[in-house]
Structure 1
Amino acid sequence: MLNLLSILVGVVTLVLMIPAVIPFLGALNWILVPLALVGALIGMASSKNGGRNFCLIVAGLGALRLFIGGGLI
């Protein structure tokens, strides 16, 4: 059940990251990356790794976007 909750958090975070790709909305990732990491923590409590890995990939994508945009853009 926790794995499914972790995947759900990851999907919601990924959908919310779509507008953060637009220039000048990249700062939204400062909220979304920690949300994905919370999903990864939930996934760590599960016996399966799928939700945790998905949330870590989503957090990595958000962190990459922050890195490319210099943290603000």
Structure 2
Amino acid sequence: MNEMTNLHAVTSISPFASRYGNLIGGDFCKPKAGRYFENLSPITGQPIDQIARSDASDVEAALDAAHSAADA
């Protein structure tokens, strides 16, 4: 094993969470339809994590939260 291989083995732990929801009203929440897509590394093409696949109901929830915050 060479130094480059050793370095890769040490740094291959992901600093990211395995799954991210939508940030709505200051909190991360699951997408209403429960769907996610894989976020792939542009370097290796391997999955890094999963991101919420939002739809219209998630957008409505985000807009409702934003309007509530603006009124406060």
Q: Which has the larger radius of gyration?
A: 2
Common fold, TM-score beyond 0.5?
Answer: no
- Higher normalized contact order (CA 8 Å, seq sep 6+, divided by chain length): 1
Q: TM-score range by the shorter chain?
A: 0.3 to 0.5
How does the TM-score come out when normalised to structure 1?
0.33
Larger relative strand fraction: 2
